[in-house]
Structure 1
Amino acid sequence: MAEKPDVAQLADYLVSHAGGYLRNTVRIQRQTCSICTTPTNGYKTCYPCRGHQQQYRNELADLVAPVIYAKKGTQAGYLMHGYKQPPVAPEHRRIVATLSLVTLSLHSGCPGRLIGSPLTSWATVPSLAGRSGRHPLHALVARMVPLPEIPLHPGEDVVDPRAARADNFTADPVHDVGAHVLLLDDTWASGGHLQSAALALRQAGAAHVSGLVLARWIGESTVSTGDFRTKLARPYNPDVCPWTGATCP
């Protein structure tokens, strides 16, 4: 039997090899979106998340927790592309795998405490176009979550892959009463992929869905306040809870 990884050692590796460019997501009321953590300049939620809420209300993910920020042209942006785009960069793959394992080890219990219902299963958001087979993230995390998997599948004849639509994905039936699914994705841009997958899991029988996203992709002209910039300048800290932006619940 393989030895369990030393999470503290992996966290130290992550900080020493990538802490110079990784940045924890920030949760500041009315400065960053309460759902996806993008800067909002005075609003509770960003425009895309507000649109999803108006359309679907309580059918979306209960919680969303991006772990780091990524931006085009930055090392974090190269990381999130390089771990999966051919030719795959081995160092990027190691960093993404370590970030996944450390985050899951330290913070996978947090959504259960916040919602009051422990996790019962997990899923990853599949690719909708341009890549066959399982999403590269699935290959990295398949052995990291000690829970049953609920497979998700791309829908047929997807009309708008970036929109939040219940028919963009289908999920295998969820049989557990009160099931709480941990939904994993690598990158959140507008949130359509993850929220579509959450809608599919709801239709399959999930009572709760908590979305854990490795990176929140932010635009080059992102509006940000001084407080946001100050917190964004802090070195990456694996102990910061992505669900709360501070200590674990």
Structure 2
Amino acid sequence: MQLNSESHKRIWLIGGTGESAKLAKALLSVQLPLLISVTTENARSLYPISPLLQVWVGRFNLSQINQFLAEQNIIAVLDASHPYAAEISQNAIAACSQKNIPYLRFERPRCGLGGRGAEGQRGKLIYLDSFERLVTGEYLVGERVLFTVGYKVLPLFRDWHERSTLFARVLPATTSIAAALTAGFTQDKLFAMRPPIPLNLERELWRHWQISMVVTKASGTPGGEDIKRQLAAELGVSLVIIEPPIITYPQVTSDLGEAIAFCQQHTGKLA
């Protein structure tokens, strides 16, 4: 999407998540001008139509972010990207530091008592700090494993089809399904649906496939982590939780009011 480089100064909301949609509505309600970036055309539908809001679709490297900040007259950055989208956050932080532009990370609240570290286990909850640790360990041996982690990491588990029975739930998109098939997941071991997944449907899927282990990300309630925890305890299923990358953010909040105040402060529209 080509944007007007002569546009008024505005906030860059790094979006694509449910949190970013809530933030956008809240910021528009106090008449703040926004430029929202997402990585797919489908994500446009998350946001309302408003003359104060423009949506940019695409991906950035660091040099592109520097150019983007200047051309689009960005005066502050509110980062509500996915917790595992480390590259965009790290590049945005670096660019904002170079240009002295205020940056605030909006974090979704964590679900339960996560265990940051190389490895932690509480009953049937297993915390790991990376997918690589899961691939190289023995956690999956002989298990009927359901992956609910997106399609990008599925190729890491291609060799595990010989030692385990693997299933995957992916988005109902051609790219996601094709990637899963290429990674060795057959059609009868794939389920395509866009979250949120209702608890009853999640339960029936696990039962139908006789799942003994589920691999998920530490995605909080918006990512359905609470439902997976509940069902894992109910059905006696092991739940492997992959924690997000560690990023040192200049400022972080999980409070909507603080995020609005940050944006108002830097647009000169204090409540």
**What TM-score do the two structures reach when normalised by structure 2?**
0.29
**Rg larger in 1 or in 2?**
2
**What TM-score do the two structures reach when normalised by structure 1?**
0.32
Higher strand proportion (structure 1 or 2): 2
